[in-house]
């Protein structure tokens, strides 16, 4: 078996088998058929990626077809948003089509089915029909109108179409088998009366086809070769095929190919709601500001938050195509955007929780414009100038009056390097009446070649620009908020999912445009929000530099294990080594969880413990990755780079292991 064959997913295997059995390659055609009753969300990106990905792989057309058969819930606003989202993801459809394009053809075929005794008008109440339908273990029974004459059915159906009846008075049903083991085959509804204005056809129709009748026949008319949908539609496949066989007899000369429906596992994401109905409730009850609120899992919400098309496509690729349902850890999605933005986002300095620093030996009226690298991952990004003056802001958490040996940031009597600037030493503090530190007085040293362990970001107070920063947390505090019987998913809302703060950013950001993305050094990735104006900047936090949520998850205690050798009693550096041993064998979701554990452990690792592991054998890639993750945390916490660190990073960047290279490239 070739490598290419091994790498095929099960859908690609089906297609390859069909091609081997005589299907012409130029007959391959796919579609993405959203209903325009809401905004697309992250769950839809899997279906989009599969269909459009197959189109690219096989150079086959992909239709964008709107399943617009329910005018009560569908709007042009949603059509426009869906088109915008699919295009933003980087996909191009061959044809823009609508189920409503086929209303007349579907009606004509339904009339023919009545003539052939395969459909009838039922005039019972919905309650009566439900009772007659039976249960999964009990067969249904025939209703009193099942054997209406063809003539009466044709007359009633035409009058339904002409608007002579009220909603709910009659429906058209397929005549299959009321005792069928598949309940969907027990005379399913084909048409119902809906006297609603349609966003495309206006008031031309007052009967509308049901999904099962419309879906397969639209595929057939468009000559879709492979109709791909999620697993919940697998029970519908039998009905899909039955309807297809009926119309094939009517139109096989015009439409010679019969589509094949196949199902894949849908995308389920932890801490996330995918139901459009529930997402609409969040919007209507003003839990969020709208469909594009950055906390929403909608594509428009992710875009506004700063997610990139490439990061979402990479996420879908990592998730893969499977037949079984599973839940993907949202940390994997965050990992993908973090990886993408690391390569592309310019580095800038911003202070979110400012503490004033006065450099006492720096001249009062002096200012300098110092050179700063825009992106160490991109040589073409160049450099910018940042201003430096006597008074600067640093983060409050970057200073302590007294601190231990593992605190590499600023403390009284200690020295740190200011990013792109000088080395400063904390000499004294100023406090308010309540004892809170309001200022740190420092001296600076122009000898930047000195070895110090900490590096801090900062902004010049004189030049700093005020900005609103919106920090987002997960909207739900439960991994599966809609999976609890007897509980409303709204009970699991995170009351602290949005935190708005006033920050100070470097002056180069004055000209930042809506949608532009940046790395606020040592803080995370941020983008300019739609609400931003030239005189009132607004930034959204896209994602942190690491998965901080994992630290908050309660760990499951295992008494049996703890009696043996509890992990928390072992030295952190030893646990890091142990976790690294199998790192490369884990799937991406497990790697993210292990990485989060290593990050948590890193706070208890000293540089002296870590440095000997820089010489770990090349073949032990997992251990070297764990060491690199730990080193990255120490550097973020202020550890100064030295020759040994630089040599370790440079060697890792030349390694054959892509995971190690990726970690090293972030340092």
Buried b (16+ CB within 10 A) or exposed e, 464-494: bbebbbbbbbbbbbbbbbbeeeeeebeebbb
d(Cα 395, Cα 189) in Å, to the nearest integer? 64
Is residue 481 within 8 A of residue 489, CB to CB? The reply is yes
The separation between CA 112 and the C-alpha centre of its own chain, rounded to angstroms, equals 45
C-alpha torsion sign, points 221, 224, 225, 230: negative
Q: Nearest CA to 259 among 545, 488, 477, 65?
A: 65
Buried b (16+ CB within 10 A) or exposed e, 350-361: bbbebbebbbee
Six-digit token string for 393: 């802001």
Q: Determine whether 276 is an active site residue.
A: yes
Q: Determine whether 266 is an active site residue.
A: yes
161, 192, 276, 303: which is the annotated catalytic residue?
A: 276
35, 169, 468, 609: which is the annotated catalytic residue?
A: 35
Q: Are strands 327-328 and 268-269 parallel, antiparallel or unpaired?
A: parallel
Buried b (16+ CB within 10 A) or exposed e, 108-118: ebbbbbbeeeb
Q: Determine whether 555 is an active site residue.
A: no
d(Cα 120, Cα 175) in Å, to the nearest integer? 7
> Residues 409, 410, 414, CA angle at the centre, nearest 5°?
110
Is residue 490 within 8 A of residue 287, CB to CB? The reply is yes
The separation between CA 622 and the C-alpha centre of its own chain, rounded to angstroms, equals 27
C-alpha torsion sign, points 162, 165, 167, 168: negative
Is residue 516 within 8 A of residue 345, CB to CB? The reply is no
Six-digit token string for 481: 């908020």
Is residue 62 within 8 A of residue 55, CB to CB? The reply is yes
d(Cα 74, Cα 99) in Å, to the nearest integer? 13
DSSP 625: H
Tell me the three state secondary structure of residue 66.
strand
29, 161, 266, 313: which is the annotated catalytic residue?
A: 266
The alpha-carbon radius of gyration of the chain (Å, integer) is: 31
Length of the chain: 667
Neighbours of 375 (CB within 10 A): 18
Q: Nearest CA to 128 among 171, 164, 158, 69?
A: 171
Residues taking part in catalysis? 35, 266, 276
């Amino acid at each position: 078996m070739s490598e290419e064959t091994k790498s095929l997913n099960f859908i690609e295997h089906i297609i390859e088998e069909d091609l081997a059995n005589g299907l012409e390659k130029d007959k391959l055609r796919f579609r993405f058929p959203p209903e325009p009753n809401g905004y697309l969300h992250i769950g839809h990106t899997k279906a989009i990626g599969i269909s459009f990905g197959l189109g690219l792989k096989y150079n086959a057309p992909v239709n964008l077809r709107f399943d617009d058969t329910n005018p009560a819930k569908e709007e042009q606003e949603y059509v426009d948003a869906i088109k915008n989202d699919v295009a933003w993801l980087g996909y191009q459809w061959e044809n823009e089509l609508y189920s409503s394009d086929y209303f007349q053809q579907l009606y004509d075929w339904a009339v023919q089915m009545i003539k052939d005794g395969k459909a009838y008008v039922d005039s019972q109440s919905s309650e009566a029909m439900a009772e007659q339908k039976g249960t999964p273990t009990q067969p249904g029974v025939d209703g009193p109108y099942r054997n209406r004459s063809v003539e009466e059915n044709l007359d009633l159906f035409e009058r339904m179409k002409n608007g002579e009846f009220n909603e709910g008075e009659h429906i058209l049903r397929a005549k299959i088998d009321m005792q069928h083991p598949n309940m969907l085959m027990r005379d399913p509804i084909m048409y119902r009366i809906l006297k609603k204005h349609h966003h495309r056809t206006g008031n031309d129709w007052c009967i509308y086809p049901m999904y099962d009748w419309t879906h397969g026949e639209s595929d057939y008319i468009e000559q879709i070769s492979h109709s791909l949908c999620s697993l919940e539609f697998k029970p519908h496949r039998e009905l899909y095929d039955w309807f297809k066989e009926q119309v094939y007899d009517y139109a096989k000369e015009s439409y010679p190919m019969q589509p094949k429906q196949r199902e894949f596992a849908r995308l389920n994401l932890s801490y996330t709601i995918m139901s459009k109905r529930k997402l609409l409730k969040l919007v209507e009850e003003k839990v969020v500001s709208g469909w594009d609120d950055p906390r929403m899992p909608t594509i428009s919400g992710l875009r506004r938050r700063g997610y990139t098309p490439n990061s979402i496509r990479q996420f879908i690729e990592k998730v893969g195509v499977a037949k079984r349902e599973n839940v993907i850890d949202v940390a994997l999605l965050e990992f993908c955007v973090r990886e993408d933005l690391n390569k592309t986002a310019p580095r800038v300095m911003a202070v979110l929780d400012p503490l004033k620093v006065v450099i006492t030996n720096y001249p009062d009226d002096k200012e300098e414009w110092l050179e700063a690298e825009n992106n160490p991952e991109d040589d073409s990004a160049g450099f910018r100038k940042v201003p430096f003056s006597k008074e600067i802001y640093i983060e409050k958490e970057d200073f302590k009056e007294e601190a231990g040996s593992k605190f590499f940031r600023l403390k009284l009597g200690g020295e740190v390097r200011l990013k792109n600037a000088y080395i400063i030493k904390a000499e004294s503090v100023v406090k308010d009446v309540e004892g809170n530190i309001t200022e740190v007085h420092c001296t600076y040293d122009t000898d930047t070649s000195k070895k110090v362990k900490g590096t801090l970001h900062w902004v010049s107070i004189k030049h700093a620009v005020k900005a609103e920063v919106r920090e987002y947390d997960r909207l739900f505090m439960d991994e599966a908020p809609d999976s609890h019987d007897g509980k409303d998913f709204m009970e699991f809302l995170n009351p602290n999912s949005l935190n708005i703060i006033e920050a100070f950013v470097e002056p180069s950001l004055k000209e930042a445009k809506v949608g532009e993305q940046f790395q606020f050094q040592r803080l995370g990735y941020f983008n300019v929000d739609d609400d931003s104006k030239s005189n009132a900047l607004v930034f959204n936090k896209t994602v942190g530099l690491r998965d901080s949520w994992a630290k908050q998850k309660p760990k499951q205690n295992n008494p049996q294990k703890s009696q043996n050798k509890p992990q928390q009693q072992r030295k952190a550096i030893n646990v890091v080594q142990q976790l690294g041993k199998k790192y490369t064998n884990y799937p991406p979701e497990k790697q993210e969880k292990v990485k989060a554990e290593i990050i948590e452990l890193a706070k208890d690792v000293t540089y002296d413990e870590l440095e000997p592991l820089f010489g770990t054998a090349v073949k032990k890639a997992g251990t070297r990755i764990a060491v690199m993750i730990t080193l990255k945390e120490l550097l973020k916490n202020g550890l100064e780079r030295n020759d040994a660190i630089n040599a370790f990073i440079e060697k890792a960047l030349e390694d054959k292991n892509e995971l190690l290279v990726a970690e090293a490239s972030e340092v």
